[in-house]
Chain A
C-alpha cells in the first residue's frame, strides 16, 4: 500500500495534465478512504 500511495504521489507530480491528475487524485482519495476506514476499525 505504501508503494502504491508513494507511486501515485510521484506520478501526480510527473503528469501535469488535468485528466491524469483527476485519475490519480481519485486513486489517492480511494486510498485515503481505505486508510481512514482501517484506522476507524482499528480504533
Chain B
C-alpha cells in the first residue's frame, strides 16, 4: 500500500465524523511512518547526489538508515507512545500514535524485501517480516526462531 492509500484507510477506520478534530492526527499519523524514507531519498538524491540505482539497491539497505526507518515503524515503541499520551491526557497524540500503529499493521502483511523491523527494540527485534509471507508453518518456525 502506498502512502496516500494509508492515509485514506486510516481515516476510514479511525476518523470520526462527529469528532472532526481527529482528522489531522489520524492523517499525519498515517503519513509519519513513511516520512523518514522521503527524508532519506531527498538527502541521498539532493545532498549526496547518490545515483538512483545505488539509492534503491544499496543506500536504502544501509543499517543506519534502516534503524532510522524502523524507529517510526516499531509497534512496541508506538504502543509505548499511545500509553504515555494517554497517561498525560493527550488524546490527539494518542490518536496520532494509534494511526501510526495501524499503518504499521497494514505494512506487516504487505511488505517483503523492503519490510521494516516492526518489533524493533523488543525481544523479537531481529524478526523481519520477510518470513511472514511464506506458508503458515514456515512463518511460525521463523517467528519462534527469532524470539
Q: Is B109 an interface residue (CB 8 A)?
A: no
Q: Is B20 an interface residue (CB 8 A)?
A: yes
Number of contacts between A and B (CB, 8 Å)? Answer: 36
Q: Which of B4, B5, B23 contacts A15 (CB 8 A)?
A: B23
Question: With the chains together, A17 CA to B5 CA distance in Å?
Answer: 21
Interface bin, chain A: 10 to 19
Q: Summarize A's interface: helix, strand, loop or mixed.
A: helix
Interface size on B, residues (CB 8 A): 13
Contact present for B27 and A4 (CB under 8 Å): no
Stretch binding the partner chain, chosen from B10-18, B88-96, B111-119: B10-18
Q: Is B7 an interface residue (CB 8 A)?
A: yes
Q: Is B110 an interface residue (CB 8 A)?
A: no
Which residues of A sit under 8 angstroms from B7, Cβ to Cβ? 23, 27
- 0 or 1 for each of B3-36: is its CB under 8 Å from A? (1 = yes): 0110111011001010010011001000000000
Which residues of A sit under 8 angstroms from B11, Cβ to Cβ? 7, 11
Q: A10 — nearest CB in chain B belongs to which residue? A: B12
Contact present for B5 and A4 (CB under 8 Å): yes
Question: With the chains together, A11 CA to B5 CA distance in Å?
Answer: 13
Shortest Cβ distance from residue B9 to the other chain A in the assembled complex, whole angstroms: 7
Q: Is A36 an interface residue (CB 8 A)?
A: no
Q: Which of B8, B17, B20, B24 contacts A7 (CB 8 A)?
A: B8
* Cβ contacts A to B, 28 pairs, < 8 Å: A1-B5, A3-B9, A4-B4, A4-B8, A4-B9, A7-B9, A7-B11, A7-B12, A8-B8, A10-B12, A11-B8, A11-B12, A14-B17, A15-B15, A15-B17, A15-B20, A15-B23, A17-B20, A19-B24, A20-B23, A20-B27, A23-B7, A23-B27, A27-B4, A27-B7, A27-B8, A30-B4, A31-B4
Query: Which B residues lie at the A interface, using CB under 8 A?
Result: 4-5, 7-9, 11-12, 15, 17, 20, 23-24, 27
